[in-house]
Chains A and B, each alone.
Chain A
Amino acid sequence: MSQSARQAVLDGIRASLRRGPLPPETAAVLDTRLSRPEPNVVPAIALGDRRTLVARFLAAAEAAAATTQRVPPGEEGAAVADFLRAHALPAAVAVAADPRLDGLAAAPMLCVTRRGADHGAPTDADRVGVSHALAGLAETGTLLLASGPECPATLNMLPDVHVVVVRALDVVGGLEDGWDRLRRHAGAAPLPRTVHLVTGPSRTGDIEQTLQLGAHGPRRLHIVLIDDDPAAIRA
Chain B
Amino acid sequence: MHVTSRAFHKNVRGAVADPNLRRSLATMKTGFRANRAKAAAALPEFEALRDAGAAIKDRTLAHLDHYLERFEARVEESGGQVHWARDGDEACRAVLDICRAHAARMVTKGKSMVAEEIALNAALEAAGIQPVETDLGEYIIQLRGEVPSHIIAPAIHVRKHQVADSFRENHPQFPADRPLEEPRDLLDEARAVLRDRFLTADVGITGANMLVAETGSTIIVTNEGNGDLTQLLPRVHIVVTSIEKVVPTLEDAATVLRLLARSATGQPMASYTTLSTGPRRPGDADGPEHFHVVLLDNGRSRMLGTEFRDALRCIRCAACINHCPIYGAVGGHAYGSVYPGPIGSVITPALASLEDAAALPNASTLCGRCEAVCPMRIPLPRMLRNWREHEVARRLAPARVRWGLRLWSFAARRPALYRAGTGLVARLLVRLGGRRGRLARAPLAGAWTRVRDLPAPPAGGTFMDQVRIKQSKARDGR
Q: Do A and B come from one complex?
A: yes
Residues of A that sit less than 8 Å from B by CB: 1-2, 5-6, 8-10, 12-18, 21-22, 26-27, 30-31, 33-35, 37-41, 43-45, 60, 64, 115-117, 119-122, 124, 139-140, 142, 147-149, 152-154, 156-158, 174-176, 179, 182, 190-210, 212, 214-218
The reply to whether A153 and B160 form a contact with Cβ atoms under 8 Å apart is: no
Cross-chain contact of A153 among B68, B232, B243, B255 (Cβ < 8 A): B232
Known: A209-B31, A217-B272. A193 touches B287 (CB 8 A): yes
Complex contact A202–B223 (CB within 8 A): yes
Q: How far is the CB of B37 from chain A (nearest CB, A)?
A: 16
| 7 A-B residue pairs with CB within 8 Å | A6-B84, A37-B252, A149-B285, A156-B228, A193-B281, A196-B228, A197-B275
A2-B84, A200-B271 known; A149 vs B284 contact (CB < 8 Å):
yes
Give chain B residues whose Cβ lies under 8 Å from the Cβ of A212.
183-184, 187
C-alpha gap A2/B82 in the complex (Å): 9
Q: Are A196 and B272 in contact (CB under 8 A)?
A: yes
Interchain nearest-CB distance for A9 vs B (Å): 5
Which of B70-78, B351-359, B370-378, B455-463 contacts its partner? Answer: B70-78
Report the minimal beta-carbon distance from B77 to chain A, rounded to whole angstroms.
Answer: 6
Which residues from chain B sit less than 8 Å from chain A, CB to CB? 24, 27-28, 31-32, 43-45, 48-49, 51-52, 56, 62-70, 74, 77-79, 83-86, 90, 93-94, 134-137, 140, 153-156, 159-160, 163, 183-184, 186-187, 191, 194-195, 198-199, 213-217, 223-226, 228-229, 232-233, 243, 248-252, 254-255, 257-258, 265, 267-281, 283-287, 295, 297, 301-306, 309
> Do B44 and A43 touch across chains, with their CB atoms under 8 A apart?
yes
Which listed residue, A8, A204, A208, A216, touches B160 by the CB 8 Å rule? A208
With contacts A1-B90, A37-B251, A202-B223 taken as known, whether A217 is within 8 angstroms of B229 at the C-beta atoms is: yes
When distances are taken between beta carbons in the complex, the residues of chain A under 8 Å from B286 are 121-122, 147, 152-154
A191 touching B224 by the CB < 8 A rule? no
Task: Give the complex CA separation of A110 and B278 in angstroms.
Answer: 35
Bound state CA distance, A49 and B229, in angstroms? 37
Chain A positions within 8 Å of B135 at CB level: 206
B32, B66, B159, B225: the one contacting A218 at CB < 8 Å is B225
Please state if A193 and B276 are interface contacts (CB–CB under 8 Å).
yes
15 more A-B contacts (CB under 8 A) besides A16-B301, A37-B249, A204-B136?
Answer: A13-B65, A34-B248, A40-B254, A45-B43, A64-B268, A148-B283, A153-B228, A154-B232, A175-B257, A191-B78, A193-B284, A204-B187, A207-B136, A212-B187, A216-B134
Q: In the assembled complex, which residues on chain A have CB atoms less than 8 Å from the CB atom of B194? A: 216
Q: Do B280 and A193 touch across chains, with their CB atoms under 8 A apart?
A: yes
Question: How far, in whole Å, are A210 and B250 apart by their CA atoms in the complex?
Answer: 33
Out of A44, A119, A148, which one reaches B284, CB within 8 Å?
A148
The CA of A217 and the CA of B286, in the complex, are separated in Å by 16
A64 neighbours in B (Cβ, 8 Å): 267-269, 271
Whether A216 contacts B287 in the complex (CB less than 8 A), given A17-B64, A43-B49, comes out as: no
Find chain B residues with CB under 8 A from A40 CB.
49, 52, 56, 251-252, 254-255
Given known A176-B254, A190-B78, A194-B275, contact A17–B304 (CB-CB < 8 A):
yes
CA distance A190 to B24 in the complex (A): 45
Please tell me if the beta carbons of A199 and B84 are within 8 angstroms of each other in the complex. Answer: no
Q: Are A152 and B225 in contact (CB under 8 A)?
A: no
Q: Which of B24, B136, B233, B297 contacts A12 (CB 8 A)?
A: B297
Expressed in whole angstroms, the Cα–Cα distance for A124 and B216 within the complex equals 30
Q: Is the CB of B284 within 8 A of A147?
A: yes
Q: Is the CB of A193 within 8 A of B278?
A: yes
The residues of B that contact A194 with a CB separation of less than 8 Å are 228, 232, 274-277, 287
Query: Is B275 a contact of A195 with CB atoms below 8 Å?
Result: yes
Please report the C-alpha to C-alpha distance between residue A14 and residue B62 in the assembled complex, in whole angstroms: 9
Take A12-B301, A17-B62, A147-B284 as given contacts and tell me if A190 and B199 are in contact as well, using a CB distance cutoff of 8 Å.
no
Cross-chain contact of B277 among A2, A193, A215 (Cβ < 8 A) = A193
Considering the complex of A and B, which 5 residue pairs feature the smallest CB-CB distances, nearest first? A217-B225, A16-B305, A12-B301, A215-B224, A149-B283
Do A174 and B86 contact each other (CB < 8 Å), given the known contacts A204-B187, A207-B183, A215-B187?
A: no
Q: Which residue of B lies closest to A116 (CB)?
A: B285
Find A34's partner among B136, B214, B276, B283 (CB 8 Å cutoff). B214
A22 touches B63 (CB 8 A): yes
| A208-B27 in contact (CB<8A) | yes
Q: Are B224 and A44 in contact (CB-based, < 8 A)? A: no
Q: CB distance B223 to A204 under 8 Å? A: yes
A17 touches B159 (CB 8 A): no
| Least CB separation from B184: chain A residue | A212
- How far, in Å, is A227 (CB) from chain B's closest CB? 24
A43 partner, pick from B56, B224, B258, beta carbons under 8 A: B258
Asked if residues B66 and A27 are in contact (CB atoms below 8 Å), the reply is yes
Chain B residues lying within 8 Å of A174, measured Cβ to Cβ, are 254
CA distance A22 to B213 in the complex (A): 16
CB atoms of B183 and A191 under 8 A apart:
no
Closest B residue, CB atoms, query A182: B250
How long is the Cα–Cα vector from A69 to B67 in the complex, in angstroms? 43
- How far is A197 from B163 in the complex, measured between Cα atoms in Å? 31
Contact A210-B65, Cβ < 8 Å, known A6-B84, A191-B215: no
Residues of the B chain whose Cβ atoms lie less than 8 Å from the Cβ of A217 = 224-226, 228-229, 271-272
**Is there an interface contact between B187 and A190, defined as CB atoms closer than 8 Å?**
no
- Smallest Cβ distance from A124 to chain B, in angstroms? 6
Give the residue of A2, A157, A191 whose beta carbon is less than 8 angstroms from that of B217. A191
Contact of A202 with B285 in the complex, beta carbons under 8 Å: no
Kindly provide the distance from the CB of B246 to the nearest chain A CB, expressed in whole angstroms.
11
**CA A40 – CA B195 in complex, angstroms?**
40
Query: Closest CB of chain A to B444's CB: distance in Å?
Result: 41
In the assembled complex, the Cα of A218 lies from the Cα of B224 at a distance in Å of 9
The CB with the most chain A CB atoms within 10 A, among B156, B276, B286, is that of: B286
CB distance from B340 to the nearest CB of A (A): 17
Q: How far is the CB of A90 from chain B (nearest CB, A)?
A: 18
A109 CB, nearest partner CB in chain B, Å: 26
